[in-house]
Amino acid sequence: MGLYGMMRTGVSGMSAQANRLSTVADNIANANTTGYKRSKTEFSSLVVPNTPGYYNSGGVKTSVRYEVSKQGVLQYTTSGNDLAINGNGFFIVESPNGTSNLVRAGSFVPDGQGRLVNAAGFYLMGCNYANGEPSAVANGFNGLEVVNIGAYELSVTPSDAGLILANLPATAAVVDAARLPSTNAADASYSAKSSVVVYDNLGSEILLDVFLTKTGPAAGSPPDTEPTWEVAIYNQADASADTSFPYSTGPLATTTLNFNLANGRLTAASNSDIVFDIPGGREFTLDLKNLTQLATSFDPEIRANGNGPSPIQSINIGGDGIVSAVYENGELKALYRIPLASVPSPDQLTVMPGNVYSLSPESGALRVGFPNDSGLGAVISGALEGSNVDIAEELTDMIESQRNYTANSKVFQTGSDLLDLLVNLKR
């Protein structure tokens, strides 16, 4: 090989340093690219077999590695749709042609249809809550769909449960059976009354009248007879003009309560709730177990779940990856849960255009889970992961590569000069 080999070695060195300078150029150019992972050129020697007394110079080979597993600095923003991962894992995104990839860059914004898309045009994927608590497919992208926050403009939650907190006056007079609210007579009487708003399936308000009437003990009963009360529920829309009896239809439900004389609480054998169907709505259960009968006034508090039509005020993304809609009425409704993906060797992932990654044979098998589970990191809303490039380090590498390139060019030039000398020996 001789001088030719020396020249080829010099060319190999120059080519290797050119590759290193190319990765340095990429790193410097992407120093401000969200989620960018630094690339670096690794060198390995190329050895040519030698014979005794004769040396064949080899060369150098290069391979490019990406520091995908090295996290960049978190930079906080004012947008709740900006997402970063603090720890291990990747967001799962889908390209416009339907290909799934991995990404650390979480600068998502809603497109015209409300789908969260990043700057490179990749859509964020998540698990929908439409069919209940979601679960991730551990080894694939099945069951994921594009996160769309524009399809949830109004929320209606029909009422199905409530609670009444009140004391029924122990001194209340017993009402005659013929005049109980359950009879719906024009002269019906009651001991206490309250009302509560509930919602039907369309979110319309339904006002319910709650009548509580003492029914016993009757006059002449033994002193230890347990007090009894009737609870009757009416739809106020059916009431007469003065919102009283008679109602155009009977009660939605009635029940009887029995109180313990010793402590004024419901007895073990007493009914503790009342169940009925809301007109146009769901079956509703009103919890009565907190009612008491003590020697004080009636001061009720009735709570019921549900809400009427309410628009989205904002979108909240928690550290556990749950995407929730915050409605103007204060309701928080889970829409999606964002999964994270991981592989045993992130640095061996295949780098794709758009700052995304795809699986490779060297990266290992895919594992999908939810944030904070099984070693996966947490999702940080209102933050972006910056590039992990250190400009000072890149400039140092650039100067070093420049000097090495010059030195290798000197080797090539020296070999060229020696060949010229050999050619001119005959002259």
The pLDDT tens digits for 380-397 are 999 999 999 999 999 999
Q: Do 57 and 83 reside in the same domain of the chain?
A: no
CA pair distance 184, 249, nearest whole angstrom: 8
Number of domains in the chain: 3
CATH code, domain carrying 196: 2.60.98.20
Q: Please report which confidence band the pLDDT of residue 152 belongs to, taking 50, 70 and 90 as the band edges.
A: low
Please answer whether residues 232 and 249 qualify as being in contact, where contact means their C-beta atoms are separated by less than 8 angstroms: no
Q: pLDDT at residue 1 above 60?
A: no
Mean pLDDT across 317-343: 89
CA pair distance 97, 62, nearest whole angstrom: 34
The pLDDT tens digits for 93-146 are 999 898 999 999 999 999 988 899 998 899 999 999 888 888 888 888 998 999
Q: Do 262 and 327 reside in the same domain of the chain?
A: no
Q: pLDDT at residue 342 above 70?
A: yes
Q: Do 174 and 242 reside in the same domain of the chain?
A: yes
Q: Do 53 and 81 reside in the same domain of the chain?
A: no
Mean pLDDT across 236-252: 90
pLDDT at 219: 80
Q: Do 298 and 167 reside in the same domain of the chain?
A: yes
Q: Do 92 and 176 reside in the same domain of the chain?
A: no
CA pair distance 34, 48, nearest whole angstrom: 43
Last residue of some domain: 305, 322, 353?
A: 305
The pLDDT tens digits for 38-84 are 999 988 887 777 667 666 777 888 889 999 999 999 999 999 899 99
Quick one: which H or E segment has residue 24? Answer: helix 2-29
Mean pLDDT across 207-226: 91
Residue 321 Ramachandran class (φ > 0 left, ψ -120 to 50 alpha, else beta): left
Q: Do 168 and 297 reside in the same domain of the chain?
A: yes
Residues sharing a CB contact under 8 Å with residue 104, sequence separation 6 or more, in sequence order: 35, 37, 68, 72, 85, 90, 91, 355, 385
Q: pLDDT at residue 414 above 60?
A: yes
Q: Do 139 and 258 reside in the same domain of the chain?
A: no
Mean pLDDT across 324-350: 89
Instruction: Give the range of the structural domain holding residue 325, as residue numbers without chain letter.
Output: 74-155+311-385
Q: Supply φ then ψ for residue 10, to 5 degrees.
A: -65, -40
Please answer whether residues 334 and 85 qualify as being in contact, where contact means their C-beta atoms are separated by less than 8 angstroms: no
Q: Do 186 and 291 reside in the same domain of the chain?
A: yes
Residue whose pair of structure tokens reads 């990839």 in the numeric block: 101
The pLDDT tens digits for 283-304 are 999 999 999 999 999 999 999 9
Q: Do 134 and 181 reside in the same domain of the chain?
A: no
Q: What pTM did the predictor assign? A: 0.67
Q: Do 200 and 136 reside in the same domain of the chain?
A: no
DSSP-derived 3-state class of residue 364: coil
Last residue of some domain: 305, 340, 367?
A: 305
